[in-house]
Amino acid sequence: MEKNLENYRKSYDKSELKEENLLANPLAFFQKWFNEAEESQIVDEPNAMTLSTIGLDGYPKSRVVLLKKIKEEGFVFYTNYDSEKGQALEKNPKVCLSFFWPALERQVIIKGEVEKVSEEESEAYFNSRPAGSRLGAIVSHQSSPVPNRDYLEEKLTELEKEYQDKEIEKPTYWGGYLVKPFSFEFWQGRPNRLHDRFVYQLSNKKSWEEPVRLAP
């Protein structure tokens, strides 16, 4: 089956990114763009990010996860440590994050390495979640085969009864990761495909180099 998409066209003309607009710290500039995405009210789930890892089979894999905290050290998300992505991160902590906000014609690409957050931080976030989400984390042995949808629904119903008057404790296999960035690339769509691109690199794991403009 063939479908020709050659006539798909879009002109990017909503904004621009100049050297004088940038900040010395790329994390601070990311926070600025993130705030603008939030405040625009035209970006659905501005915290949705594509996480790319290298799997145990040696192939890259990308999936959308939700950013849950921006810290001075980097970006925090939560998942099942025994899942496919958790196993991939255990073997190879190098990752790439991508935020795409098409309504603003902006993209941010971040390279970094992950480490697990503390058990206390994971527990605090887990306990802040709705009861259904906490039970869902127990029901779902993420990435493992299941016979059908009913199997999951029945397990959830069983747990709802079991934990009706009990505290829902965080499973040991569930928790957070901190992505510690060493590279940021900011992309702003511009007319005629002459987009604005700037990349920051971390020097000696200590300080950020001056941003460099890249050809689009």
- Domain limits at 48? 19-122+173-214
Q: What is the C-alpha to C-alpha distance for residues 14 and 11, in angstroms, rounded to an integer?
A: 9
Ramachandran sector of residue 149 (left: φ over 0; alpha: ψ -120 to 50; beta: rest): alpha
What is the number of structural domains in the chain? 1
Residue in the structure block whose two tokens are 């990311």: 30
What is the C-alpha to C-alpha distance for residues 98 and 185, in angstroms, rounded to an integer? Answer: 9
Stated pTM of the model: 0.94
For the cut 90, the answer to whether the pLDDT of residue 5 exceeds it is yes
62, part of any domain: yes
**Residue 54 zone, left/alpha/beta (φ > 0; ψ -120 to 50; rest):** beta
Whether residue 75 is contained in a domain is answered as yes
Question: Of the ranges 39-43, 138-142, 183-187, which one carries the lowest mean pLDDT score?
Answer: 138-142
For residues 198-205, give the mean pLDDT.
93
Whether the CB-CB separation of 51 and 95 falls below 8 Å is answered with yes
Domain membership of residue 154 (yes or no) is no
User: Is 1 a domain residue?
Assistant: no
Instruction: List phi, psi (to 5°) of 3.
Output: -140, 125
pLDDT band at 204; cut points 50, 70, 90 = confident
Query: Hey, what are 100's tokens?
Result: 């795409």
Task: Using the predicted structure, report yes or no on whether residue 178 has a pLDDT greater than 90.
Answer: yes
Phi-psi region at 143: left, alpha or beta (left = phi > 0; alpha = psi -120 to 50): left
Q: Looking at residue 97, which CATH number applies to its domain?
A: 2.30.110.10
209 close to 203: Cβ distance less than 8 angstroms: yes
Residue pair 200/211 in contact (Cβ under 8 Å)? The answer is: yes
pLDDT digits (tens, 9 = 90+) for 91-106: 999 999 999 999 999 9
Nearest to 137 by CA among 126, 121, 149: 126
Do you know the residue count of the chain? 216
Considering the domain boundaries, does residue 138 fall inside one?
Answer: no
Of residues 83 and 140, which shows the higher confidence score?
A: 83
Report the catalytic residues.
193
The answer as to whether 144 is a domain residue is no
